[in-house]
Amino acid sequence: MAQMVTRVVGKVPQLINGLVDATTPKLQTVWKYARVELRPPSLSELPEVRKGFQDLVKAYRTQKWKQVTVKEAAVNTIVAVEVACWFAIGECIGKRSLVGYQIPGAVNFEAHL
């Protein structure tokens, strides 16, 4: 039994080194894209944001949304659901609870018989 434990403990550094070698290139790629995609817009990009909103309003007024393909509508729906889910996750993190806000003085967790 002791020999088996010694062998297993001896293989742990090899497993860790293999894991590090396998994940390092993938993590470098993830961090490369995360630095670009997950940062907030800079001041120089604000005119592009404004133009994007203006284009959105223009497309609504000209009823361009009626000419969207099913594939584009599906992608837009998935993106909207993703945004809603991230909003809900942020709300749960912010209020530190899955259900409602616990307002001091308005919360009563005692059993009422």
62: pLDDT strictly greater than 80: yes
pLDDT score of 47: 93
* Both tokens assigned to 26: 């993938």
Band the pLDDT of 15: cuts 50, 70, 90: confident
pLDDT score of 102: 76
Instruction: Return the domain boundaries, the chain.
Output: 1-39, 45-96
Does the pTM of the predicted model rise above 0.85?
no
Phi, psi of 57, deg, nearest 5: -65, -40
How many beta carbons lie within 10 A of that of residue 68, not counting itself? 13
> CA-CA distances (angstroms) from residue 91 to 87, 94, 99, 103, 109?
6, 5, 10, 15, 22
Band the pLDDT of 100: cuts 50, 70, 90: confident
Q: How far is CA 102 from the centre of its chain?
A: 26
Alpha helices in the chain (DSSP H): 2-37, 46-61, 70-95
pLDDT in tens, 16-57: 888 888 888 888 998 999 888 888 888 999 999 899 999 989
